[in-house]
Amino acid sequence: FTNQQSAKADALRANPRASMTVYWHAILKQVQLAGPVEPLADDENDAYFATRPRGSQIGAWASAQSRPLESRQALLDAVAQQEQRFADVDPIPRPPHWGGYRIVADEVEIWHDGESRIHHRERFTKTDNGWEMRLLQP
């Protein structure tokens, strides 16, 4: 989720692919997925925005994310202005310039830690017939 006018959103529009990696140290495993990115629908954005803390909702209205900032005080003043604007509003509506993206995975890699760096790696690639699995060198 991001300001749709941010550098992150600009990058996703220019190259609508992304990847993410999650590492679980406790179980020594990692999952990475990659694929095309698609914007979420308004109802999905609204539902998620409603779960965010009120301060984060105010911040989404106050911040022109990724744009140059005159001073820290200018940002604090913008936050105070939005707090005043929404003082008697509950719930705070989602800003029209704020929304999320979904990675539609077409590749998933599962990595299992191995002794002496002899890891076990499986890569799943989406094909027209389902998912194909290949083992990878560590």
Active site residues per annotation: 117
| CA–CA gap between residue 9 and residue 66 (Å, rounded) | 10
| CA–CA gap between residue 82 and residue 75 (Å, rounded) | 11
Which tokens in the block code for residue 96? 């029209």
Q: What is the DSSP string of 60-93?
A: HHH--TTS--S-HHHHHHHHHHHHHHTTT-SSPP
